[in-house]
Amino acid sequence: MFDFLTQTLSGEPPAATTGQTATLDWIWRAEGILELSPHQPCNSAVVISAGIHGNETAPIELLNQLVSELLRGERALKVRLLVLLGNPPSMQANKRFVDADMNRMFGGRHARYVPGGETRRAHQLEQAMALFYRTSSAAGAIRRFHYDLHTAIRGSLHVRFGLLPLQTRPHGAEMLHWLDAAGLDALVFHRSPGGTFTHFSSEVFCADSCTLELGKALPFGSNDHQQFTGIRLALEALVSEKPLPERQADAPLKRYRVTQDILRSQEDFQLHIPGDALNFSPFPKGFVIAEETGKVFRVEAPEEYVLFPNASVALGLRAGLMLELERF
Ligand SMILES: [Zn+2]
């Protein structure tokens, strides 16, 4: 049996592109796109993706481990499962992306970019997901989940957190319970649409979707897998439909909502958040977050927290998010 990650990094398909084990059928749909179906009927269609940013290796290794155990029959599969390694060329190069950030391109936004490897791949992943959810529904697996696994570029006051896409329906209780059990420290609720993979799966397929940020990006082999224990156990429970692990965390899960998208629209845009600020660093009311001709971004709430600050984004893109803590 091939190793999914090694095979994907080789750039070649496996000798056979379909096969079966005692308990499941598998189909290699394309490079880094593997579908696993249990022999018995099931209710859920689960997509787990990693490597949308190629240098975020820990979740790629984690996901590959899970796939290997399923293919070897060491773990029971009780859901239809689509496993995606998002951006193989950037994984080979150990870079976030080759030409452009793929996690801004979903929902057809790739058509607005200069055509390249990432625009083609984003389109291919969209189609693979559409095919998977459609065929799963036809087979009776009508509950849809999508977890997109990442690691953050910078340090963070919350090491593990989830980003939930804007949606008009409530976020699924089962997913929220799963995220808590996975030991995440915080959840961030978006309030505007975006080009992320999970916004796409939520909006187009009504999947319960969450982007998971699991610590900091390190090269292949250098990851401390200890800090991923909670998420590993939760993913194992998800695919095998076993009871969820008990939450292991020092504090209860915090919830934040996005208050401001800091968009860079002018050449003279200046971000006043220090370059080394950790994610979730607090700033007081009145603090000038950023300035450009015609616009000043200020902290409006008593306290706001910064997420993903990046002064060097291209015009029209997001230089950061500001958050407010939700209190119950
Ligand atoms: Zn990422």
Backbone angles phi and psi of 262, in degrees to 5 = -85, 100
Residue 283: partners with Cβ closer than 8 Å, 6 or more residues away: 273, 289, 299, 303, 304, 305, 306, 322
Distance CA 27, CA 33 (A): 8
Query: Whole-prediction pTM value?
Result: 0.95
Q: Which of the two residues, 225 and 274, has the higher pLDDT score?
A: 274
> Can you give the pLDDT at residue 228?
86
Percent of the chain with pLDDT over 90: 88
Q: Quick one: pLDDT at residue 112?
A: 95
Q: For residue 211, what are the β-bridge partners?
A: 148, 163
| CA distance linking residue 13 with residue 32, whole number of Å | 9
Task: Give the pLDDT confidence score for residue 328 in this predicted structure.
Answer: 59
Report whether 163 contacts 199 (CB < 8 A): no
| 35-87 tens-digit pLDDT | 999 999 999 999 999 999 999 999 999 999 999 999 999 999 999 999 999 99
Looking at residue 216, its pLDDT comes to 73
What confidence score (pLDDT) does residue 77 get? 98
The phi and psi torsions of 4 (rounded to 5 degrees) equal -60, -45
Mean of pLDDT over the chain: 94
Measured in Å, residue 293 CA sits from the centre of ligand 1 at: 31
Q: Which of 126, 203, 213, 324 is catalytic?
A: 213
The CA-CA-CA angle for residues 175, 123, 60, to 5°, reads 50
How is the chain split into domains, by residue range? 4-240, 260-325
Spatial contact of 189 and 253, defined as CB atoms under 8 Å apart: no
Q: Is 39 annotated as a binding residue?
A: no
DSSP assigned state of 123? H
Percent of residues, the chain, with pLDDT higher than 70: 98
> Is 234 within 8 Å of 181 (Cβ atoms)?
yes
pLDDT tens digits for range 78-126: 999 999 999 999 999 999 999 999 999 999 999 999 999 999 999 999 9
pLDDT at site 219:
67
CA distance 273 to 320: 9
How far apart are alpha carbons 194 and 196 in whole angstroms? 6
CA of 102 to the centre of ligand 1 (A): 9
Kindly give the distance from the C-alpha atom of residue 138 to the centroid of ligand 1, in angstroms, as a whole number: 32
C-alpha 212 to ligand 1 mean position (Å): 9
pLDDT digits (tens, 9 = 90+) for 218-259: 666 766 777 789 999 999 999 999 999 999 888 999 999 999
Helix, strand, or coil (residue 257): strand
Place of tokens 């391109």: 105
Q: Is 213 a catalytic residue?
A: yes
Beta pairing, strands 143-152 & 44-50:
parallel
> CATH assignment of 260-325?
2.40.50.630
Q: Which option is the CATH number for 4-240: 3.30.360.10, 3.40.630.10, 3.40.1180.10, 3.40.50.1000? A: 3.40.630.10
> pLDDT at residue 153 above 90?
no
Backbone angles phi, psi at 15, to 5 degrees: -55, -45
| Span 156-183, average pLDDT | 96
| CA 279 to ligand 1 centroid distance, Å | 14
The span from the CA of 19 to the CA of 25, in Å, is 6
Give the confidence band of 217 by pLDDT, cuts at 50, 70, 90: low
Residue 53 near residue 153 (C-beta atoms within 8 A): no
**Alpha-carbon span 98 to 114, nearest angstrom:** 13
- Residue 97 CA to ligand 1 center (angstroms) comes to 10
Expressed in angstroms and rounded, the spacing between residue 142 Cα and the centre of ligand 1 is 28
DSSP 156-168: BSSSEEEEEPP-S
What integer pLDDT is reported at residue 225 of this predicted model?
72
Q: What is the pLDDT of residue 226?
A: 73
